[in-house]
Amino acid sequence: VQLQASGGGSVNAGGSLRLSCETASAFLSKRSAVGWFRQRPGQEREALACITNDEEGTEFIRDSVKGRFTISRDHDKKTVYLQMSELKPEDTAVYYCASGWSDVVSPSFKCGTGFEYDVWGRGTLVTVSS
């Protein structure tokens, strides 16, 4: 069981990318959520955004990327997206999506730290050049 993250690539500063996380093979329950994370070179994993898998699709965006990144989902395609705009060189990282409990989608959990997630996809590399 695995999530499939895709859409990474190289882009100039100020550009945009949309990452996709295909969840069809993971059979996610309505009590779950999908989160996006990244790991920059030499740094710890960082939560970016998350969204619940129920009908409401509650979202949470971390302050570090709020205003530039958005999260959305397509139920029919069973895909969660991370739209990234105004990209900066410091956004260069490997980006991951993961599935965990929906409780992480809240101002108190702020999408968690990663340990709350039990299904992870392979990362996709985003490189932003200045």
Neighbours of 17 (CB within 10 A): 19
Cβ burial, residue 11 (10 Å; 0-12/13-18/19+): middle
Nearest to 28 by CA among 8, 65, 3, 62: 3
Neighbouring residues of 111: CB distance < 8 A, sequence distance ≥ 6: 35, 47, 48, 49, 50, 60, 62, 104, 105
Which ranges of 1-130 does DSSP label H, i.e. alpha helix? none
Most confident of 9-13, 28-32, 100-104: 9-13
Taking the C-alpha atoms of residue 107 and residue 114, their distance in angstroms, rounded to an integer, is: 16
Tokens 């779950």 found at: 32
- For residue 1, name the pLDDT band (cuts at 50, 70, 90): low
> Using one digit for the tens of pLDDT, what is the confidence trace for 42-55?
999 999 999 999 88
Tokens of 2: 């695995």
Q: Does the pLDDT of residue 30 top 90, yes or no?
A: no
